[in-house]
Amino acid sequence: MANNQMEKNLSVQDMIKKNKKKKSMGNAVEKIVPIFLLLCAIVSVLTTIGILFTLLRESITFFSDVPITDFYFGTNWSPWTDHFGVAPLIAGTLLITFIAICVAMPIGLASAIFLSEYATDRTRKIIKPILEILAGIPTVVYGFFALTFVSPLLGEVFTEMRIFNALSAGIVVGIMIIPMIASLSEDAMSAVPNSLRDGALGLGATRFEVAIKVVLPAALSGIIASIVLAISRAIGETMIVTIAAGATPNLTFNPTESIQTLTAFIVQGATGDTSYQSTIYNSIYAVGITLFIFTLLMNILSQYISRRFKEDY
């Protein structure tokens, strides 16, 4: 009996020791994980600071040779002949973005309304992943699709349209950002409580009226944020506009003409024909910081809108 009692005591002691070891390992993990997460956050912050420092350093060198007023208010962009008026590139970027949003916003919102308000769970599980496949297609594929399919198709309608044009590039950029608007807007609409829908339906509203007059206003902050983020994505698009829009820096808002965007010039200027530390080379960074400012303002606007129109239920 005494031996059995000793064995029981020993087994209990062993269990206590094991529990202590597990607790000590758990405490070690609890201490290590926050440190690891902090290091990841620091790496992200340092990367952003490094990018901003590089852009500022090279841009300051460029603006020491070219006045900043001539750069932002000049209308002639021809770096290889010492003309650095960036207005044509900004106009081309805004034109592409405007066309893209005109394509993506109605289609994306209509898709989001269907997925949130009309589709069954089974239909949503099938359609939403297929829709999001568009976001996984390489942009270079979109570019060649715009050049070899969309441009010839539009050329049959607009006979004077060039093979490189803003319209086809803008349409395809719009197709590319549809999943961003549709997915984020659908998430915002799905977060609206069903009690609001049930109340509107109980008052005699149709499902379409519920979607337009109840769900959309309630999810407005998320919808607007998705549109602003999509605009930011369109502004920063590179390969589609480089392949399909051309490399002609025209200060025009005619979508049938060839234009050049900020990102397209960065690709062109970064080729081997540009000598290191030349004015043309430094202009790449000046254009880059201009693009950085555009996207930064879009992200700040998105956060402001999300806070301003956020609804808590």
Residue 313 counted as domain residue: no
Which of 65, 86, 108 lies at the terminal end of a domain, its last residue?
Answer: 65
Q: Are residues 57 and 129 in the same domain?
A: no
Q: Are residues 190 and 282 in the same domain?
A: yes
Q: Are residues 109 and 257 in the same domain?
A: yes
Q: Are residues 85 and 118 in the same domain?
A: yes
Say if residue 16's pLDDT is above 80.
no
**In which domain, by residue range, is 59 found?**
2-65
Task: Please give the backbone phi and psi of residue 84, each rounded to the nearest 5 degrees, phi first.
Answer: -120, 45
Residue 205 counted as domain residue: yes
- Total number of domains constituting the chain: 2
Residue 278 counted as domain residue: yes
CATH number for the domain harbouring residue 174: 1.10.3720.10
Say if residue 17's pLDDT is above 80.
no
Check residue 20 and give its pLDDT: 59
Check residue 101 and give its pLDDT: 93
Say if residue 1's pLDDT is above 50.
no
Least confident of 64-73, 88-97, 99-108, 300-309: 300-309
Q: Which residue has the tokens 């529990």?
A: 19
Say if residue 7's pLDDT is above 50.
no
Q: Which residue has the tokens 């405007």?
A: 98
Is the distance from CB of 190 to CB of 211 less than 8 angstroms? Answer: no
pTM over 0.75: yes
Sequence-separated (6 or more) residues with CB below 8 Å from residue 163:
147, 151, 152, 155
